[in-house]
Amino acid sequence: MEAHVPNKLFEFDWQAIPGDHIYPQLRREHFVGASGPMIGSSASPYASFVSIWDRPIMEHIAKETNRYAQEYATHLINRGKMRPSNRITLWTETDVDELYVYFALVTAMGIVLKTRIEDYWTTDMTIFSTPGFSISMPIKRFQLLSRYLHFIDNSQFSTNISHSQAKIFKLQPIVQHLNLKFSTLYSLSQNIALDENLTQWKGWLDFKQFIPTKASAVGIKSYELCDSRTGYLWRFEVHAGGESETNQELISGSIPNLVLRLLRGLEHRGHTVWMDSYYNSPVLARVLKTLGFDCVGTLRTNRQFVPDLIRNLKSSDMRKGQVCGCTSGDVNLMVWRDQNHVAMISTYHGVGVSDNKPILIKDFSVCMEGVDKKDQTVSMYPMERKRTMIWYKQFFRRLLNVSIWNSYIIHKHFTPTIEHRAFRMELVTQILQHHLRRTELSLVTMRGVPKFSDEVLSHFPTFLPLFPTGTKGSRQKRRCYRCKILTHFVCRACNVALCFNTQASCFILHHS
């Protein structure tokens, strides 16, 4: 992370810190504003959830899901690959109420863990049965929604967008919506933590990351800005490689500009940003100080502008428990020898020690716990663990999972005694109470309504009807219009029998 030096702002005059003369309370930025939910109240888990997943975004998902199913059916027909047995022939258009029910079932799967999707719909009346799933939605309908769930019109893709934007194009509306909702529904406290998360993905993906220190180790990386106290996720960015937006007027480099993008809108409020060595540098610390932030975290000593006093210091040069540091006015660097030497950076700490441990390191351990708390709690309800061939659907479930966590943080502010598990269970129940009955009514009114447009529907291959019970043979046959061989298939639009058994079938030839 080499930084461009545009002016004297980045001139550092490092001096050794003489003892414990720096008083943090005198140098720390003054925090202004309140923290907590921005909404007036959250009467129920359902109310906090729909404040994030509101009706406009659900209508958008329903619209794009229906569009994608229609396009896929048209694609199969145009290529002569439509079969009566294809799952798409069972499709009926979805709506907002049904998608809420679908979200409730996905949430319930994170609470009731089973190894296979089919196990949730088992009809065996044993200790392993979960009849609530089949009551709420048939398994074939759940699988259809999972297969054709879509978030954006594919025709909107443009070659003019950046490389990184192209990679997350399929999920961009959801990312934008959640970032807007997360940041407008909650005000962060003074201490905020920036860290990365890894959503497990073992399939091929050119921008997946390997981070051995994470539980998933391999997967889709996202950078997350969270409240240190509650773990509320305020803003995130998916790592997709390529160059992103930068602000050359302040500082160059992809990592510093990533930090500035995540902090946008929080300037001059007195927040303290806690980060690890992946992000920190003396240059970034000074830029953040000019924007009204304090900055604290671990430091890689090979960063630009780190003085030789710190850069060349080795563990063998220090005795255990020893602390040394240097300051350049508003940026302090400190090295502490424990089992190994640990380098830290701060814009307001000195080298003060409490109980044989630097105060800076004690504060860092406490204030970085918010991100870990979120990750550990959410991982207990692994909604995204179900196998899928599509990476963005896996990551969508991860986003749904953390949005439920944020809903819980909002609701807990008004109902402090509620536990996280109880919140999730109550949320599923309330979603079904609000939307399941409406879904049943909408399905009744949709009977007899075409599933697709007339053009697509008219040339679906279909079976001839069954013979009456007791008659020899199970299904009627007619002679093919082209080759005169007996066949079970008929084109419902042309009203002629056509073979549909081989790649070069008469059905395909007749419609080509």
DSSP for 59-102, written as a single string: HHHHHHHHHHHHHHHHHHHHTT---TT-GGGG-----HHHHHHH
CA–CA separation, 335 and 343 (whole Å): 4
339 has a pLDDT exceeding 70? yes
- For residues 312 and 327, membership in a common domain is answered with yes
> Are residues 272 and 294 both part of a single domain?
yes
Q: What is the pTM of this model?
A: 0.83
Strand residues in 394-493 grouped as ranges (E): 461-463, 478-479, 486-487, 489-491
Residue 274 β-bridge partners: 193, 296
Residue among 377, 367, 374 at smallest CA distance from 192: 367
| Banded model confidence at residue 316, pLDDT cuts 50, 70, 90 | confident
Residues 224 and 295 in one domain: yes
Picking from 329, 351, 375, the residue at the C-terminal end of a domain is: 375
**pLDDT, mean of residues 233-250:** 74
Same domain, 257 and 400: no
| Largest interatomic CA distance in the chain | 102
The single-letter DSSP state of residue 466 is: B
Q: Are strands 186-187 and 36-37 parallel, antiparallel or unpaired?
A: antiparallel
As a whole-number percent, the residues of the chain with pLDDT over 90 amount to 45
The yes-or-no verdict on residue 471 having pLDDT over 60 is no
pLDDT number for residue 486: 83
Domain that holds residue 407: 45-158+382-446
Q: Does a structural domain hold residue 179?
A: no
| Assigned domain for 164 exists | no
Task: For residue 484, give Cα distances in angstroms to 84, 464, 476, 481.
Answer: 21, 16, 15, 6
* The pLDDT of residue 8 is above 60: yes
Does residue 438 register a pLDDT over 60? Answer: no
Q: Is 502 a residue whose pLDDT tops 80?
A: no
Residues 225 and 371 in one domain: yes
- Identify whether residues 193 and 335 lie together within a single domain: yes
The strand pairing partners of 200, in sequence order, are 219
415, 446, 477 — which closes off a domain? 446
Q: CB count, 10 Å around CB of 214?
A: 17
Q: How far apart are CA 220 and CA 236, in angstroms?
A: 13
CA distances from 207 to 44, 157, 388, 394 (A): 39, 19, 18, 15
Q: Do both 359 and 409 map to the same domain?
A: no
**Residue 234 located in a structural domain:** yes
In a domain, 25, yes or no: yes
Please check whether residues 126 and 203 belong to one and the same domain. no
- The residue among 375, 393, 410 that closes a domain is 375
Residue 217 has pLDDT above 90, yes or no: no
pLDDT: which is higher, 371 or 66 = 66
Query: Of 78-82, 419-423, 487-491, where does the model show the most confidence?
Result: 419-423
CA angle 215, 218, 222 (to 5 degrees): 85
Question: pLDDT for 123-181, tens place per residue?
Answer: 887 888 888 898 899 999 999 999 999 999 988 887 777 767 788 899 999 999 999 99
Q: Give domain status of residue 178, yes or no.
A: no
**Is 163 inside a domain boundary?**
no
Q: Please give the pLDDT value at position 22.
A: 60
Residue 479 resides in a domain: yes
Q: Are residues 211 and 296 in the same domain?
A: yes
Count of helix runs (H) and strand runs (E) in the chain:
17, 19
The pLDDT confidence band at residue 18, using thresholds 50, 70 and 90, is low
The answer to whether residues 15 and 117 belong to one domain is no
195 and 89 in one domain?
no
In a domain, residue 167? The reply is no
Q: What is the DSSP letter of 247?
A: B
> Minimal CA–CA distance to 322: which of 313, 311, 332, 312?
313
CA 149, CA 112: separation in Å to the nearest integer? 22
Q: In terms of domains, do 68 and 143 share one?
A: yes
Give the chain's domain count: 3
Distance CA 319, CA 103 (A): 56
Cα three-residue angle 484-486-492, rounded to 5 degrees: 90
